[in-house]
Amino acid sequence: MTDWITIANDHLTAAINPLGAELSSLKDAAGRELMTDADPAFWTGRAPLLFPVVGKPAGEVIRIHGREYPMKQHGFARRLPFTLIDHGPTHATFRLQDSDATRVHYPFAFTLDATFRLDGATLKTEIEITNPNVNEMPASFGFHPAFAWPLPGGAKRGQHNITFGQDEPDGIRPIADDGTIKAGSLPSPLDGRTLHLADELFAHDALVWDNVRSSSVTYGAPGGPHLQIDFPDTPMLGIWTKPGARYICVEPWHGIADPEGYADEFADKPGVFLVPPGGSKSINMAVTLLP
């Protein structure tokens, strides 16, 4: 097992697993865990980074210039070791670069840097995707952090809510049995701007907003700690758990599962961005522990 890399200040302590550059623990000043217990009865993930796809490709392939490449749900970055390239008391940067193994699935050279940085009671995750190729590089990226549900502090699971920063007039996208996205929409589960968390919401997989207006949400329960999750660079959002599990995932995405039956080019899929030749794409998320 690879040792986790720890960063800390007076407010928070974070530990990152170089396998996948996965945030694996986030504790407050009292040492209380704010993230999932990763119970294998439900899901052993903690906060995987999703690249170069988000969600399930139809038939588990993507098409680039007419050729099919095998691609599993959420891509390969979460299963690969990153290299630690910089580490100080309150920051750490990890890097993943293309290899013969990645080019079997995604025929591009790339560099993916993930920097974790503590600033007061905020953990910032800064992603930089660089394209050294002579042509544009299509890609998606998503965050997938799983926070403790319930959070420490004594509130019961059923008292926890997620409140959106803006009104969200649209419904949510239905998920097909194979994990792709169906056409149409389902009624919004929000009460105003608030999602009252309950297991039955997730009986049919994640709640998916493919055009989220908000750039932040706040998660917590009355009388206990709250987490503000800011995602200024991602136009889509998933919220997910498995009924009965002790976590809730708040997932800012720049990308989404394939539409059901999708058979077109990966570059034309909703949510895919194009990184220019010699250029880069930055995608950021911040988690703040509120008083």
DSSP readout, 231-269?
-TT-SEEEEE--TT-SEEEEEEEE--PPBTT--S-GGGS
Q: Which of 9, 12, 11 is nearest to 25 (CA)?
A: 12
Determine the Cα–Cα distance for residues 211 and 173; give it in Å rounded to an integer: 10
Domains and CATH numbers, the chain: 5-290 (2.70.98.10)
CA distance 271 to 163: 24
pLDDT band at 2 (very low <50, low <70, confident <90, very high): confident
8 A C-beta contact, residue 11 and residue 118: yes
Identify which of 229, 233, 232 has the alpha carbon closest to the alpha carbon of residue 271: 233
For the chain, how are helix, strand and coil distributed in percent, rounded to 5?
5, 45, 50
Which residue, among 38, 275, 258, 238, has the nearest Cα to 134 in the 3D structure? Answer: 275
State the average pLDDT over residues 74-99.
98
Q: Give residue 285's pLDDT.
A: 98
Alpha-carbon gap, residue 186 to 188, rounded angstroms: 6
The angle subtended at Cα 111 by Cα 110 and Cα 117, nearest 5°, is 155
pLDDT at residue 1 above 80? no
Higher-confidence residue of 291 and 108: namely 108
pLDDT at 291: 82
pTM summary value = 0.97
Q: Quick one: pLDDT at residue 22?
A: 98
The residue-averaged pLDDT of 242-251 equals 98
pLDDT in tens, 22-71: 999 999 999 999 999 999 999 999 999 999 999 999 999 999 999 999 99
Cα gap 241→146, rounded to integer Å: 8
Mean pLDDT of the chain: 97
pLDDT in tens, 196-231: 999 999 999 999 999 999 999 999 999 999 999 999
